């Protein structure tokens, strides 16, 4: 099967430069702060409660999402747009490279919170996944609909603004609830809905826009 072999070879050739071109500074800063914040819960002595741990874990998940907002930044975008390898493949590979690291970061962050005050891991993980998906969808949308090579800063700012606004939502449709709150389960259904909505949207936004090129061709004629 030559196609499969060729595709495999292409991916193998693509991996090292992609790995080098990842926005390591921002990702490192985000991952570092995401693991350092829950570590504070362990360092700081004194009987803290689950609400305290929840605040730290939520800060960690927002920090991770803010880092992921920069993932699709490509300073060489105007050059790579001409290469035969499609953007889906390039950005998909970026995701594949980073997602395990993010998962590792999140697991470490979760384990750093002392067990007795740790909020339900699955539910908090769901929040983190939804926020990460939101950030990546935002980045994909920015890449697709603008010509900006590095839209990450704007996406991150928007994501933070959205997060702050989320805390202002009225009680019956809020997302950030306390563990002791009776609306915890309902809020996490909303988180799941958010995740289920953003993932297909993000996937749909990954490929390059074709009509745009036609329009460009029209104008350049």
Partner 1 sequence: MSTVIDKAPTVFAPVETGRRPAAAVLALARFEARELLVQIPVFFFLLVYVGTTAWKLFSPREDMNNYPILHDVDRATQPGTLLLAVAAFICVNVAALRSRRHGTDRHFDVLVLEPWRRTVAHALSVVPLAAVTALGAAIEFGWAALKPGAVGHGSVAELATGPLVVLLSGVLGVLIARLCPRLAGGPLVVVVGFATLMVVSSVVGQTHWLTWLHPVVSETSNNPIPSDLLGRPAAWHALYLVGLSAVLLCVAALVSGGRTRLLKAITVVALGAMVTGIAGQSPGDDAALITARTKASSTPAAFQSCVAHGRSTYCSFPEWTGWRDDWEKVVDRIQDLAGGGAGGAPLTIRQRIPVVHQLEGDAAIEPLHTPGEVTAGTRWGGNRVPEFAVGVASVLVAGDEQAVSKMCDARVVTVMWLAMAAQDDPMTAFRHVRLDDSLSGSAVALAPTNPVGMSAEQTRIVRALLGRPLYGVTARVKAHWTELTSPRTSEARVAELLGVPAAKNGTGAGESCQK
Q: Which of 160, 175, 197, 203 binds partner 1 (CB under 8 A)?
A: 160
Phi and psi torsions of 180, nearest 5° = -75, -10
Name the DSSP letter for residue 22: S
- Determine the 3-state secondary structure of 72 from DSSP: coil
Q: Which of 46, 84, 115, 122 binds partner 1 (CB under 8 A)?
A: 46
**Residue 200's closest CA among 101, 139, 133?**
133
Return the number of the residue (49 or 215) whose C-beta is nearest partner 1: 49
Return the number of the residue (163 or 198) whose C-beta is nearest partner 1: 163
Q: Which stretch binds partner 1 (CB under 8 A): 10-18, 30-38, 177-185, 198-206?
A: 30-38
Q: How far is CA 28 from the centre of its chain?
A: 14
Considering the rule CB under 8 A, would residue 67 count as an interface residue with partner 1? yes
HSE toward the beta carbon, residue 179, CA cutoff 13 A: 17
* In the complex, minimum distance from the CB of residue 60 to partner 1, in angstroms, rounded to a whole number: 8
* In the complex, minimum distance from the CB of residue 158 to partner 1, in angstroms, rounded to a whole number: 7
**Residue 38's closest CA among 144, 120, 114, 89?**
114
Q: How many residues does the chain have?
A: 221
Considering the rule CB under 8 A, would residue 35 count as an interface residue with partner 1? no
Report 126-155 residues binding partner 1 (CB under 8 A).
150, 152-154
């Amino acid at each position: 099967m030559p196609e499969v072999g060729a595709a495999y070879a292409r991916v193998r050739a693509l991996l090292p430069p992609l790995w080098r071109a990842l926005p390591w500074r921002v990702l490192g800063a985000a991952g570092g702060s995401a693991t350092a914040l829950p570590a504070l819960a362990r360092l700081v002595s004194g009987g803290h409660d689950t609400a305290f741990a929840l605040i730290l874990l939520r800060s960690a998940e927002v920090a991770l999402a803010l880092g992921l907002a920069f993932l699709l930044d490509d300073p060489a975008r105007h050059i790579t747009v001409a290469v035969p390898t499609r953007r889906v493949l390039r950005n998909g590979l970026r995701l594949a490279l980073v997602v395990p690291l993010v998962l590792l970061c999140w697991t470490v962050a979760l384990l750093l919170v002392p067990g007795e005050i740790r909020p339900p891991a699955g539910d908090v993980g769901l929040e983190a996944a939804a926020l990460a998906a939101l950030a990546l969808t935002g980045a994909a949308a920015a890449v697709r609909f603008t010509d900006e090579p590095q839209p990450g800063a704007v996406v991150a700012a928007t994501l933070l603004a959205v997060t702050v606004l989320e805390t202002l939502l009225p009680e019956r449709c809020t997302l950030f609830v306390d563990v002791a709150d009776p609306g915890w389960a309902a809020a996490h259904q909303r988180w799941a809905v958010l995740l289920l909505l953003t993932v297909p949207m993000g996937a749909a936004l990954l490929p390059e826009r074709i009509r745009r090129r036609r329009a460009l061709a029209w104008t350049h004629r």
